Amino acid sequence: MASAPLLVTGAAGQIGRRVLDLLLAAKAGPIIATTRKPEALADYAARGVDVRKADFDDEAGLVAAFKGAGRALLISTDALDRPGRRIAQHLAALRAFEKAGVKHVVYTSFVNPHPATKVLISGDHRDTEAALAKSSFDFTILRNNVYTDMMLMSLPNAVASGQLFDARGNGAAGFVTRDDCARVAAAALAQDTGGRRTLDVTGPAVLTSDQVAAIAANVTGRPVAHISIPPEALQEGMVKHGQPAPVADLLVSFDLANQAGDFAVTTDTVLKLTGKAPQSVEAFLTANRAALLPK
Ligand SMILES: NC(=O)c1ccc[n+]([C@@H]2O[C@H](COP(=O)([O-])OP(=O)(O)OC[C@H]3O[C@@H](n4cnc5c(N)ncnc54)[C@H](OP(=O)(O)O)[C@@H]3O)[C@@H](O)[C@H]2O)c1
């Protein structure tokens, strides 16, 4: 275990809280948690976590917030409202880590952030990875695959209607649960590794939408057929059903990247770093069966 404090940014988010729970359970640390909303982590402060305020949009306050940390988990933010905002946040965090004396950065990236990917938000991850490569830090880049949890947004409608619409064709993804991503992040932060590594964090299998539909049907006992439609039609349908156009564009871009094979990656990273195999899509959907069924 590392002796200098372990720091988690964005600690009030879903991954952040889970990482704190795992570090506390493993008695790793001491732990520094930074967040825009320290009051939201009062329960963690009561358990001995040093909770500090840090907003990546306010660079002036970051060095003091990060002071004393040896290893830091940089959780990519969800600031996707305007192009350029998120990468500016990440670069501000990295500059402050350096000034604060952080030695090793763990970063939550995204699978296959190559220049030709269709995923509209992958440039932020690519540029953050490039900044790490140019920096003086040791690092662990965790290229998380698509969260299995995202299925809870699309599958309830598919189960209700019997039709799973997307623009993925026969594309496939190595869906990984948010919880497994958190377990890997906690392990990468707490293990006293040096050097630089980039790891794909994935579930146990690559699944097409045909296979996901079949699993959803099996888990719920209701028929679900996968229907792949052209991306333009999917985008139009989403907007008609109330999605803002930029959100629809982003969601469609994930489908295009899926179809192009960008997410068709599986590795043993989860097992290797945590000692436990990743949760399958079937096990995840079975555990969340109630959320799939019509109310
Ligand atoms: N692989 C995938 O399929 C997938 C899916 C969704 C998201 N993601 C990415 O993974 C990240 C973590 O996932 P999650 O499920 O934990 O998301 P989440 O619950 O939506 O959390 C959003 C995160 O962004 C942080 N954040 C937002 N604005 C910030 C700012 N100005 N300064 C510092 N931090 C800021 C939040 O920190 P505080 O609230 O504590 O300040 C929080 O950690 C997301 O932010 C996103 O980049 C990946």
**Rounded distance from Cα 288 to ligand 1 centre (Å):** 22
C-beta of residue 9 within 8 angstroms of C-beta of residue 75: yes
Give yes or no for residue 38 CB within 6 A of ligand 1.
Answer: no
The mean pLDDT of the chain is 96
Give yes or no for residue 122 CB within 6 A of ligand 1.
Answer: no
Average of per-residue pLDDT across 190-197: 93
Average of per-residue pLDDT across 176-182: 98
Q: How many other C-beta atoms can be found within 10 angstroms of the C-beta atom of residue 198?
A: 14
Q: Is residue 282's pLDDT more than 60?
A: yes
Give yes or no for residue 88 CB within 6 A of ligand 1.
Answer: no
Residue 8, class by beta-carbon neighbours within 10 Å (0-12 exposed, 13-18 middle, 19+ buried)?
A: buried
Who has greater pLDDT, 192 or 40?
40
Give yes or no for residue 146 CB within 6 A of ligand 1.
Answer: yes
**Rounded distance from Cα 161 to ligand 1 centre (Å):** 31
* Dihedral sign for Cα atoms in the order 230, 163, 259, 181: positive
Q: Which band of pLDDT confidence, cut at 50, 70 and 90, is reported for residue 76?
A: very high
Neighbouring residues of 97: CB distance < 8 A, sequence distance ≥ 6:
66, 69, 72, 74, 105, 137
Phi then psi for residue 207, to 5 deg, are -125, 135
Q: Is residue 121's pLDDT more than 80?
A: yes
Q: Is residue 3's pLDDT more than 80?
A: no
Q: Is the pTM of this model over 0.95?
A: yes
Atom of ligand 1 nearest to the CA of 147: 3
Average of per-residue pLDDT across 168-190: 98
- Give 3-state DSSP helix, strand, coil % of the chain, rounded to 5: 45, 15, 35
**Rounded distance from Cα 12 to ligand 1 centre (Å):** 9
Average of per-residue pLDDT across 129-148: 98
Neighbouring residues of 258: CB distance < 8 A, sequence distance ≥ 6:
146, 168, 171, 172, 173
Atom of ligand 1 nearest to the CA of 78: 45
Phi then psi for residue 216, to 5 deg, are -60, -40
Average of per-residue pLDDT across 14-43: 97
Retrieve residue 256's tokens. Answer: 């295009």
The pLDDT score that the predictor gives to residue 165 is: 96
Q: Which band of pLDDT confidence, cut at 50, 70 and 90, is reported for residue 1?
A: very low
- Architecture of the domain defined by 6-147+177-202+266-278: 3-Layer(aba) Sandwich (3.40)
The pLDDT score that the predictor gives to residue 2 is: 44
Average of per-residue pLDDT across 159-174: 97
Question: How far is it, in rounded angstroms, from Cα 282 to Cα 280?
Answer: 5
Question: How far is it, in rounded angstroms, from Cα 106 to Cα 104?
Answer: 7
Give yes or no for residue 164 CB within 6 A of ligand 1.
Answer: no
The pLDDT score that the predictor gives to residue 53 is: 98
Retrieve residue 130's tokens. Answer: 């490039």
C-beta of residue 2 within 8 angstroms of C-beta of residue 71: yes
Give yes or no for residue 36 CB within 6 A of ligand 1.
Answer: yes
Q: Is residue 75's pLDDT more than 60?
A: yes
Among protein residues, the one with the nearest Cα to ligand 1's atom 28 is 77
**Rounded distance from Cα 87 to ligand 1 centre (Å):** 13
